[in-house]
Amino acid sequence: METRDTYALLGTNGRLADDPAARDVTPELCRGLYRDMVLARRLDSEAYHLQRQGELGLWLQCLGQEAAQVGSIRAIRDDDPVFPSYRDHAAALCRGIGPEALLAQWRGVRQSGWDPAEHRFGLYTLVLAAQLLHAVGYAMGVQRDGTDEVVLAYFGDGSSSEGEANEAFNWAATVSAPVVFFCQNNQWAISTPTSRQFGAPLHRRAAGFGLATELVDGNDVLAVRAATARAAEAVRRGGGPALIEATTYRMAGHSTSDDPTRYRTEAELDHWRARDPVDRLRALLDREEWADAAFHADLDAEADALGAETRRACRAMPDPDPAEMFDHVLPGGSPAIDRQRDAYAAYLATLEEDR
Ligand SMILES: Cc1ncc(C[n+]2csc(CCOP(=O)(O)OP(=O)(O)O)c2C)c(N)n1
Ligand SMILES: [Mg+2]
């Protein structure tokens, strides 16, 4: 199947391509993006280990996808609303969402961890592609408010098979909604490979809906940033919605409940290890001598502190009263929910009696 050339700026050897966007690349920009990715990787790794130690019920790692997330969210304005999926931890960190907020849902102590309005970052959506329709609806509100916000919506390759995704693309195109759909094509939807999701490459399918599209190397943070900035600028000018397909790889299992060795090979992992997004930017920093030993020592210390804070904040979260789960089902509750709360309390009391 014919695909467009993948847009890239940074080789695995750290060499910058001869491209107009490379002129905007500064040492300061690269150090900032590198820091974002290193911190995200540390938080992700700590959370994984906390799950293994029984402190979290589940965790979905973003390992390998840091460039796709950091490059895209750093390309838009801080007030542009974002509708994430569920492994967008690097993007969340860039929006100031800290470890306690990120882990609460996965520790099962709260139904969500942060205020979406404060961070301009929606709650994680586990119902695949539902957030894409929310994003289009929000973008229609932006149109009616007459502001120039651009909505960024993340989703995965597997999610693109959902009816909701295709409805969202079509709906956004027909109303010219100010949305950038951002697909992290990490090659897998649990154990289903992309080859079983796409009859045609996603960026080509999206073009058929009338979206402006781009295919980008999702492990190249500079290319992702440049492509997202271009797309967001065109959307902000009123050019209609866009879709970016970022080619990346989910280096870990789907979740901590998954064993990826059952369905993929070590050779495939090696292929992607050689394209690691953090190593690639590090190669540029080293090659150009844009970061000295003090920068790396400070960043290591900052990552260690974030790791320690992640462990502390996780273990410090108190267990909620089980009845609290009924409080957030409907605003103001309902008689049916009250009956369920009472029945559950009665059931818990029988457990106490058995002790
Ligand atoms: C509507 C719906 N169907 C099925 C699932 C179960 N499910 C959870 S994650 C997942 C795979 C999603 O793959 P992809 O969209 O590529 O995202 P990734 O996990 O790779 O980031 C599936 C099938 C779900 N959460 N929601
Ligand atoms: Mg996927």
Query: Are 168 and 192 within one domain?
Result: yes
Q: What is the pLDDT of residues 116-167, one digit of tens each?
A: 999 999 999 999 999 999 999 999 999 999 999 999 999 999 999 999 999 9
Q: Name residues whose C-beta falls within 8 Å of residue 319's C-beta, 6 or more positions apart in sequence.
A: 109
Is the Cβ–Cβ distance between 123 and 101 less than 8 Å? Answer: no
Q: Would you state the structure tokens that stand for residue 321, as one six-digit string?
A: 């009263």
52, 263, 315, 339: the catalytic one is 263
Strands 82-83 and 212-217, bridge-based pairing = unpaired
Length reported for the chain:
355
Per-residue confidence (pLDDT) for residue 86, from 0 to 100: 98
Containing domain of residue 332, as a range?
Answer: 322-355
Query: Are 191 and 275 within one domain?
Result: yes
Is the Cβ–Cβ distance between 249 and 186 less than 8 Å? Answer: yes
Q: Cα separation of 276 and 90, whole Å?
A: 15
Q: Would you state the structure tokens that stand for residue 93, as one six-digit string?
A: 């960190």
Whole-number average pLDDT of the chain: 96
Q: Cα separation of 230 and 221, whole Å?
A: 14
CA 96 distance to own-chain centroid: 14
Q: Cα separation of 51 and 105, whole Å?
A: 12
Nearest atom within ligand 1 for CA of residue 197? 16
| 6 assigned to some structural domain | no
Please tell me if the CB atom of residue 64 comes closer than 6 angstroms to any atom of ligand 1: no
87, 120, 134, 250: the catalytic one is 250
Per-residue pLDDT at 2 exceeds 70: no
Q: What is the DSSP letter of 16?
A: B
Beta-carbon neighbours within 5 Å of ion ligand 2 = 156-158, 186, 189
| 211 assigned to some structural domain | yes
The residue whose CA has the least distance to atom 7 of ligand 1 is 128
Q: What is the DSSP letter of 12?
A: T
Per-residue pLDDT at 354 exceeds 80: no
Query: Are 284 and 343 within one domain?
Result: no
Tell me the whole-structure pTM to 2 decimals.
0.96
CA 333 distance to own-chain centroid: 32
Per-residue pLDDT at 338 exceeds 90: yes
If you measure from the C-alpha of residue 157 to the centroid of ligand 2, how many angstroms do you get, rounded to a whole number? Answer: 5
| 4 assigned to some structural domain | no
Is the Cβ–Cβ distance between 191 and 263 less than 8 Å? Answer: yes
Per-residue pLDDT at 355 exceeds 80: no
CB-hemisphere CA count at 13 Å for 182? 33
Q: pLDDT tier at 308 (50, 70, 90 boundaries)?
A: very high
Q: What is the pLDDT of residues 179-223, one digit of tens each?
A: 999 999 999 999 999 999 999 999 999 999 999 999 999 999 999
Q: Cα separation of 129 and 140, whole Å?
A: 18
Query: Are 329 and 316 within one domain?
Result: no
| 160 assigned to some structural domain | yes
Please tell me if the CB atom of residue 157 comes closer than 6 angstroms to any atom of ligand 1: yes
Q: What is the pLDDT of residues 43-61, one digit of tens each?
A: 999 999 999 999 999 999 9
Per-residue confidence (pLDDT) for residue 303, from 0 to 100: 98
Per-residue confidence (pLDDT) for residue 3, from 0 to 100: 60
Query: Are 255 and 307 within one domain?
Result: yes
Give me the residues paired with residue 10 across strands. Answer: 16
**Window from 2-11, 158-167, 229-238 with minimum mean pLDDT:** 2-11
| 11 assigned to some structural domain | no
Number of domains in the chain: 2
If you measure from the C-alpha of residue 194 to the centroid of ligand 1, how many angstroms do you get, rounded to a whole number? Answer: 12
Which of 44, 125, 159, 264 to probe ligand 1 with, by most ligand atoms within 8 A of CB? 159
| 173 assigned to some structural domain | yes
Query: Are 239 and 326 within one domain?
Result: no
The number of beta carbons lying within 10 Å of the beta carbon of residue 332 is: 5
Q: Cα separation of 55 and 107, whole Å?
A: 7
Q: What is the pLDDT of residues 159-181, one digit of tens each?
A: 999 999 999 999 999 999 999 99
Ligand closest to 86 (CA) is 1
Per-residue confidence (pLDDT) for residue 4, from 0 to 100: 67
SS3 156: strand
Interval 233-246 mean pLDDT:
98
Q: Name residues whose C-beta falls within 8 Å of residue 182's C-beta, 6 or more positions apart in sequence.
A: 68, 72, 152, 153, 154, 155, 228, 243, 244, 246
**Residue 307's closest CA among 39, 19, 33?**
39
Please tell me if the CB atom of residue 152 comes closer than 6 angstroms to any atom of ligand 1: no
Catalytic residue check, 263: yes
Which of 190, 257, 263 to probe ligand 1 with, by most ligand atoms within 8 A of CB? 190
| 5 assigned to some structural domain | no
Q: What is the pLDDT of residues 280-292, one digit of tens each?
A: 999 999 999 999 9
